Amino acid sequence: MYSEKVMDHFQNPRNVGDLENPDTVGEVGNPSCGDIIQLFLKIDDEVITDIKFKTFGCGAAVATSSLTTELVKGKTIEEALRISKKDIAEKLGGLPPNKMHCSNLATDALKDAIDNYRGEDE
C-alpha cells in the first residue's frame, strides 16, 4: 500500500517531539477524524531554524508530518509556504488515493503555525 519512502518516514520519523519554547505552534485535525498534526517551530529572522511534530494518525499522516519537518527546516518562511501537498506526496513516492487527504494536513499545520506567528489567526 505505502511506498518505501512513506514506510521509511513512518518507521524513522524525523523531528518527532516538541520544542521547549517554540516561537509558534500549528495544529490541524481533531480526534474524531482520526488525524491531528501539531508542529512546533523556532523561527529566526524569517528562517525556520528548528521544527518538531506530534501526530495522531495513520501511516500517511506520520510520514507527511515527518517529511514536512525535514523539508522546511532551514528554509525561510516564504520558501516553506511554497511547498505544496502535491510536492509532499510526490517526494514520498506517491500516496494511496484514499490517503490523499492526509497529505494536506502537514502543509495545513505549517500554514497554521506561520499564520499564528504572523498574528493572522483568522
Partner 1 sequence: MNEIYLDHAATTPMDVEVINTVNKYMEDYYGNPSSIYKTGQIANNKLNEARKTIAELINANDFREIIFTSGGTESDNLAIKGAALALKDQGNHIITTKIEHHAVLHTCEYLEKHHDYEVTYLDVDEKGFVKIADIKEALREDTVLVSIITANNEIGTIQPIKEIGTFLKNKDVYFHTDAVQAIGQIKLNVQEINIDLLSASAHKIHGPKGVGMLYIKKGTKLVPQLNGGAQERNRRAGTENLPGIMGFKKAVELVMENRQKYVEKNSYLRDKLINGIEKSIDDAVLNGPRGSKRLSNNVNFCFKYIEGESILLNLDMLGIAASSGSACTSGSLDPSHVLLAIGHSKGTAHGSLRLSLGKDNTEQEIDFVLEKLPGIIQRIRDMSPLYIKEKERS
Task: State the residues that interact with partner 1 by CB under 8 A.
Answer: 1-2, 7, 10-11, 13, 16, 18, 27, 30-38, 54-62, 96, 98-99, 102
* Nearer Cβ to partner 1 (55/68): 55
* Nearer Cβ to partner 1 (85/99): 99
The DSSP element (H or E) to which 67 belongs, if any, is helix 59-72
Mapped to the 3 state alphabet, what secondary structure does 92-105 carry? CCCCCHHHHHHHHH
Reading across the β-sheet that carries 24-30, which strands appear in turn?
A: 24-30, 35-44, 47-56
* Nearer Cβ to partner 1 (10/117): 10
How far is residue 103's CA from residue 109's CA, in Å, rounded to a whole number? 11
Least distance from C-beta 78 to partner 1, angstroms? 27
Least distance from C-beta 79 to partner 1, angstroms? 26
Q: Is 58 a catalytic residue?
A: no
Q: Does residue 13 sit in helix, strand or coil?
A: coil
Identified catalytic residue from 48, 63, 102, 113 = 102
Catalytic residues: 33, 102
